[in-house]
Amino acid sequence: MAMTDWTIIRRSMTSRLFSTVTTVITVAIAVGLMLTLLSMRDSGRRAFERGSGNMHMLISNDSSPLVSVLNGIFYANAPARAITPARFAEIANSFPAEYAIPTQLGDRYMGLPVLATTREFFTKFSPNPDFKPGSAELGWKLAEGRIFEAPFEVVVGARAAREANVGIGDQLALTHGTGKEAHVHRDFLYKVVGILEPTGASHDRALFTDLTSSWIIHAYDRRKETNPDAGKPTEADLTDADKLITGIYARIATRPDMNISAMIPAQLAKLRADGNITVASPSTEIQSLFRIVGNIDQILIAMAAAVMVASSISIMLALYNSMEQRRRQIAVLRVLGCSRPRVFGLVVTESAIIGMLGGLAGFALAFIGTRVVAAVLKEKLGLVVEPIFDPRITFLVLVASLGLAALAGLIPAAVAYRTSVARNLRPTD
Amino acid sequence: MGDKTPSLEIHELKFKYPGSAPGAHWVVDVSALVLMPGEQALLTGASGRGKSTLLQIIAGLIEPNHGNVRIQGKDIHALGGAKRDLYRGSQIGMIFQNFNLLRGFSARENVLAALMFSDVPRKEHDARALELLQIVGIPTPERDVAELSIGQMQRVAVARAVATNPALVLADEPTASLDPENAGAAMDLIQSTCQKVGAALLCTSHDPSMADRFNRRESLDQLVTA
């Protein structure tokens, strides 16, 4: 087989195997980091958008739409202000609603949020944005048991069940508030009747019960404050003052085959005209949230780019240092008829190949890395992130790593180009 | 071999290193030297007299200050960069005192490296390399040259020098690293191989025992311009 430029390049790389491998690893780490960050940024955004599911609006009394979304969908904190039943009815009747599901947050179980709501939460709302109410597909799925049917029954999200180690038939006492002010509703026990399948949304780490039982235990608390001997109220004893909610998951009526409606902007504007409520468009708020954190991921991506540049410098140093040992080889090649530009090309090509190998290894690293990060996010945050590599961005990153490596080869190539043949052919001993 | 064009023609060649004092002697000063195809000549001169430098000028690796060098009728210094390199690769073979083989490459690959930059068709490279290595007596062409004996390295260097069927082989003190016995064998090989391929041979040496091997002997001191 004839000798080619590739033979010379390959032999040069394998003769300095340790240096070549460590340089390729350095590039691979840089490219892997960059691709992981880019992939997780997009996948993470999709995962957050999944939390709002198929609702169009989240209505609350929170201080801002963003706070409303963080509290109402991502369970950041219990909302401070409530909505009365009369106000709920007024709001629900003020727009062509496909659903308006009342929700109440405030209680927790072992630190996990408890959302009190109605059965509509499971039949009409779904964390999947493509779910159409009434459809048999894309809705909630139960791993075990059933949805609550009576007061003091609870359905547990997949991750919450695992974290709290609860199963069907377990009896739970919920906690109200946090810190020193927290107290356990010891007089009321909830029975676990269902465990949900994972959805990949924030709801996986919540427990769900019916509103009536939540109203009863809070009404009991309030009555005990004024009368320590007060008995447990029943549903019939509840007044409008007891029937408070903290949020409304709402969806505007759409055509059967549509998921959005042209009426949404107008309805949002109409509802927002009422200054006493906060009307959030979850998708808009999530986008604005990502605009805020976008600066951080730009910094991270800039840092990854800096690491890529640093890895190119490591290629340059490795090749530059090897030039001292390769001067004689270059001089011999020149004597045999290899031109200066060809010597220059050999070194730049070697550098680019190191960049390309590093890029491909980096892609493999990113493939593994994103899955590790996704597993950690699922484990720690209950957020199901499906890493996807945008082919266009992946290609650009790989081309960038190859281009940077080729650039890094320019200085060693210039050294090779200028190698004095006469001086380097002299006997050394 | 009926070609009457000299393999090597040197005319009024002078060279001194850049930065030399204005009145310094020429490092190389050759009024005329002609080698016909197949002719073999020994170039003698004391150490430091400029023998190696002259060979590098002939190979087009160093620019002379004056005069010209023609290889197969072509002024090598008139050729620009890559063209000159290719011309050298195909028309001139070089053998060095320290062999200058490509370390980390096999004997076969060292010969192939010379063919790589020549106009010999690629498909013929491998067969030609193996044939030459057989001629010079290398039984293990796939062995790394670093694992070969000194004598074998010299043989590989000879095979490499004649691989492209050059018009001229320049041998720069080819036996200086060898003991007398090996030196004799190496010279036998160099001279017979050049004869076989029809290449002219210009061999430098300051070893007086080499003189008997060459019908034509040139001393650098006698080639000086008037």
**Rounded (10°) angle between helices A17-51 and A5-15:** 90
From A54, A52, A49, select the one nearest A258 (Cα to Cα). A54
- Confidence (pLDDT) at A264: 81
Dist. CA A109–CA A175, nearest whole Å: 6
pLDDT band, very low/low/confident/very high, at B222 (cuts 50, 70, 90): confident
Which residues, listed in sequence order, are joined to residue B216 by a DSSP beta bridge?
B41
Residues 6+ apart with CB under 8 A from B139: none
Three-class SS state of B94: strand
Partner A contacted by B7 (CB < 8 A)? no
Give the closest of B90, B102, B116 to A329, CB-based. Answer: B102
Using the beta-carbon criterion (under 8 Å), do A336 and B103 form an inter-chain contact?
no
Using the beta-carbon criterion (under 8 Å), do A2 and B116 form an inter-chain contact?
yes
Rg of chain A's alpha carbons, rounded to an integer?
31
A21 to chain B, closest Cα gap in Å: 18
Dist. CA A85–CA A76, nearest whole Å: 24
* CA-to-CA dists, residue B127 to A50, A321, B111, B157, angstroms: 67, 37, 11, 17
Using the beta-carbon criterion (under 8 Å), do B94 and A331 form an inter-chain contact?
no
Angle, vertex CA B85, rays to CA B83 and CA B90, nearest 5: 95
Sign of CA dihedral B170, B176, B178, B180: positive
Give the closest of B85, B100, B115 to A332, CB-based. Answer: B100
pLDDT band, very low/low/confident/very high, at B1 (cuts 50, 70, 90): very low
Give the closest of A328, A338, A340 to B117, CB-based. Answer: A338
A341 to chain B, closest Cα gap in Å: 8
Compute the CA torsion angle A26, A28, A30, A31 (nearest 10 deg).
160
Partner A contacted by B56 (CB < 8 A)? yes
Partner B contacted by A257 (CB < 8 A)? no
**C-beta separation of A117 from A211 below 8 A:** yes
The CATH code for residues B36-58+92-222 is: 3.40.50.300
pLDDT band, very low/low/confident/very high, at B225 (cuts 50, 70, 90): low
With residue A208 as reference, give the H or E element that holds it.
strand A207-210
A316 to chain B, closest Cα gap in Å: 22
Query: Mind listing the pLDDT tens digit for each residue in B168-195?
Result: 999 998 888 777 777 888 888 889 888 8
Sign of CA dihedral A157, A158, A162, A165: positive
Using the beta-carbon criterion (under 8 Å), do A340 and B160 form an inter-chain contact?
no
Q: Looking at the predicted structure, is the pLDDT value of residue B47 above 80?
A: no
Of the residues B47, B79, B102, B132, the best mutation for testing chain A's interface (the one with the most A CB atoms within 10 Å of its CB) is B102
Considering only CB atoms, which chain B residues are within 8 Å of A342?
Answer: 82, 85
Partner A contacted by B96 (CB < 8 A)? yes
**C-beta separation of A56 from A261 below 8 A:** yes
**C-beta separation of B155 from B138 below 8 A:** yes
**Per-residue pLDDT tens listing for chain A (429 residues):** 788 999 999 988 998 899 999 999 999 999 999 999 888 887 777 777 777 888 999 999 998 998 999 899 988 888 888 999 999 999 999 888 889 999 999 899 998 999 999 999 999 999 888 887 777 777 899 999 999 999 999 999 998 999 899 999 999 999 987 766 778 888 889 999 999 998 878 898 899 999 999 999 999 888 888 888 888 888 888 889 999 999 999 998 887 777 777 778 888 888 888 888 999 998 888 888 878 777 787 888 888 899 999 999 999 999 988 888 888 889 999 999 999 999 999 999 999 999 999 999 999 999 999 999 888 877 766 666 778 888 999 999 999 999 999 999 999 999 999 988 878 877 654
Dist. CA A63–CA A67, nearest whole Å: 7
**C-beta separation of A53 from A121 below 8 A:** no
Using the beta-carbon criterion (under 8 Å), do B102 and A331 form an inter-chain contact?
no
**C-beta separation of B200 from B165 below 8 A:** no
* ipTM of predicted complex: 0.89
Dist. CA A321–CA A292, nearest whole Å: 45
A335 to chain B, closest Cα gap in Å: 7
User: In chain A, what are the domain boundaries?
Assistant: 5-48+289-424, 57-280
Partner B contacted by A341 (CB < 8 A)? yes
